[in-house]
Amino acid sequence: MDEQLKGKKVAFVVANEGVEQVELTEPWKAVRDAGGEPTLVAPDPGKVQAFDHLDKADVFEVDVTTADADPSAYDAIVLPGGVANPDQLRGDEDAVRFVRDFVNSGRPVAAICHAPWTLVEAAVVDGKRLTSWPSLQTDLRNAGADWVDEEVVVDGNLITSRKPDDLPAFCRAVVESLAA
């Protein structure tokens, strides 16, 4: 195990159902393998049902709810995608507040695929350059973002990627941002 993130705590913020499993597990593994401490944060206690596209996949145990999560307890947050995940998450006021407070703190926030919908809801994309799953580009541009079609985009403390194929670059950017 690499120790470059030793002592760094990363909140993975997801809805209780609909997160794209690989977009949760690959960055989680990258953080853990670099010595970081990942935590699963969701609106409701209990479990998170992950998906492999439209098919149910594994279930994961929630560590802390969005209502109880303290942004100051974490060094970074990761927002995995999946279509249903960020759509549900942006309806949770505690999750949106948590994300907004975190982005405004200046610490790293990484969002992949459909996850930037939560950033739109948190009103933190105006004037930022980022990417996402292509179908979100109009939403992001309407919220004031400069949307680009690139594998990974880093603008200040925001790290974004388009899709599961981008996970190697996304995971590298997450670890590098925390190791800096």
Q: Is residue 4 part of a domain?
A: no
Ranges under pLDDT 50 in the chain: none
Q: Is residue 95 part of a domain?
A: yes
Residues 97-122 have pLDDT tens digits of 999 999 999 999 999 999 999 999 99
Position 67 scores a pLDDT of 97
Q: Is residue 77 part of a domain?
A: yes
Distance CA 95, CA 85 (A): 12
Which helix (H) or strand (E) segment holds residue 79: the answer is: strand 76-79
Residues 40-66 have pLDDT tens digits of 999 999 999 999 999 999 999 999 999
Chain centre to alpha carbon of residue 151 = 16
Q: What CATH number is attached to the domain comprising 110?
A: 3.40.50.880
Distance CA 31, CA 91 (A): 27
**Cα dihedral across residues 144, 85, 169, 28: positive or negative:** positive
pTM to 2 decimals?
Answer: 0.97
Active-site positions read: 113-114
